[in-house]
């Protein structure tokens, strides 16, 4: 039975090849091939790859684009966190801003917006004012590190754009932040 199936497959394959061959030549008029449509046979060539006799070192040059992703990678997500009802910079915040300043100096044509955010506690007006002080604290530190102040815009969102929703200190601490966004 197996030999019979193999024979059927063989003849089906031969039939398919002949059918395709007939279709390929169906546009000829007298059974002769049109010389313009026939390509000369291509001889097989072997590709010889030479191996270097000594180690070759290749240096990859990465172009750092002036994107938000690039700033986030260079400066630990471009975030600075603040204490409750505070707008002074912690030592972690200052080190993150030093990385941001280095990135901004390297990308002198980029303008950024520093966003000031607060947690949900307090009135809307109070949080807008606190967010403004936080954004300006970030801006002033970046300017002190050599970034041109005309490249930095500030905006306060107060409690209007929380990073994390919910209540409790673990949530609120993530919402008290300054964020540097590439324009």
Q: Give the residue among 168, 143, 169 at the shortest CA–CA distance from 154.
A: 143
79 Cβ contact list (under 8 Å, min separation 6):
96, 177, 178, 179
| pLDDT tens, N- to C-terminus, the chain (183 residues) | 445 555 556 566 566 665 556 555 555 454 455 555 555 555 666 665 666 566 667 665 556 688 999 999 988 788 999 999 999 999 999 999 999 999 999 999 999 999 999 999 999 999 999 999 999 999 999 999 999 999 999 999 999 999 999 999 999 999 999 999 999
Task: Determine the Cα–Cα distance for residues 174 and 165; give it in Å rounded to an integer.
Answer: 10
Only one residue has tokens 């291509």, namely 42
pTM comes to 0.65
Q: How many CB atoms lie within 10 A of CB 116?
A: 29
Domains of the chain, CATH where assigned: 68-182 (3.30.1330.60)
Task: Determine the Cα–Cα distance for residues 91 and 121; give it in Å rounded to an integer.
Answer: 25
């Amino acid at each position: 039975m197996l030999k019979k199936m193999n024979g059927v497959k063989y003849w089906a394959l031969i039939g398919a090849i002949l059918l395709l061959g007939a279709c390929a030549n169906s546009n000829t008029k007298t059974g002769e091939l049109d010389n313009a449509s026939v390509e000369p046979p291509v001889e097989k060539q072997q590709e010889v790859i030479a191996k270097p006799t000594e180690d070759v070192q290749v240096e990859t040059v990465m172009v750092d684009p002036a994107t938000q992703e690039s700033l986030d990678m260079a400066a630990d997500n471009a975030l600075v966190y603040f204490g409750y009802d505070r707008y002074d910079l912690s030592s972690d915040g200052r080190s993150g801003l030093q990385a941001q300043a280095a990135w901004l100096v390297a990308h002198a044509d980029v303008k950024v917006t520093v966003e000031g955010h607060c947690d949900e506690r307090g009135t809307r007006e109070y949080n807008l004012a606190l967010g403004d002080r936080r954004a300006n604290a970030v801006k002033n530190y970046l300017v002190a590190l050599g970034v041109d102040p005309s490249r930095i815009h500030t905006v306060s969102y107060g409690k209007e754009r929380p990073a994390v929703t919910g209540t409790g200190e673990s949530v609120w601490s993530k919402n008290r932040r300054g964020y540097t966004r590439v324009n």
